Amino acid sequence: MSVLYARYRRKVMNYLYRYTGNRSSAEELTQDTFLRVVQNVHRYRPTGSVAGWIYRIAGNVGLNSLRDKPKVHEISLDEPMELEGNSVNRSEVIPGPSLRPDEEAIQTERDSAVQRALLQIPPLYREVMILCDIEGYPYREVADMLHCPINTVASRLARGRAQLAQLLGYLRRNEP
């Protein structure tokens, strides 16, 4: 179990971070995910990949967290905050382990914008986008993970990409 944890913790946390957009939630949900992995380890069937199985659990945990969102408002370090009239990322205000060059700052701002837009995509499309585009899993594997037909993966991914493209201004609203 500890091997699984060591191998997949970071991947799962990344996935849940992209899914929720909140680092502390992602950490908590990663704990939840591995707790469920332990509790359900007897249900794992060696027909599918372990990674797929863990991602499927992580996906359910992520989806449940969105459903049961706490009423208390959590402040994420990645959420923008108003500082001297400018909107900045909270994590940027806290001194990091090293100073970032200007280029990195621009890149970070772009990434934050993409992450914010990603959070506006419906969860069903979002999870497929994370798995296919960010994590790089092929359609077939994602279909296995999500227990759905490969065509469903393809259409969710396409719709998600189209919506994100609109949100990022790459595509006009009236496009197919």
Q: If binding is defined by CB under 8 A, does position 133 make contact with another protein?
A: yes
Query: Per CB under 8 A, does 164 bind another protein?
Result: yes
Q: Is 125 in the site for another protein (CB under 8 A)?
A: no
CB of 1 to another protein, least distance (A): 7
Q: Are 12 and 30 in contact (CB under 8 A)?
A: yes
Q: What are the DSSP calls for 5-62, one per residue?
A: HHHHHHHHHHHHHHHHS-HHHHHHHHHHHHHHHHHTGGG--TTS-HHHHHHHHHHHHH
Give, as ranges, the residues between 81 and 120 that touch another protein (CB under 8 A).
Answer: 96-97, 110-111, 114-115, 118
**Two tokens, residue 5:** 């944890």
What is the residue type of 101? P
Rg (CA), the chain: 17
CA angle 25, 27, 33 (to 5 degrees): 100
Annotate each residue in 1-40 with x if it binds another protein (CB under 8 A) or - if it does not, as one string: xx--x---xx--xx--xx----x--xx---x--xx--xx-
Question: What does the binding site for another protein look like in residue numbers (CB under 8 A)?
Answer: 1-2, 5, 9-10, 13-14, 17-18, 23, 26-27, 31, 34-35, 38-39, 42-43, 96-97, 110-111, 114-115, 118, 129, 132-134, 136, 139, 154-155, 157-159, 161-162, 164-165, 168, 170-172, 175-176
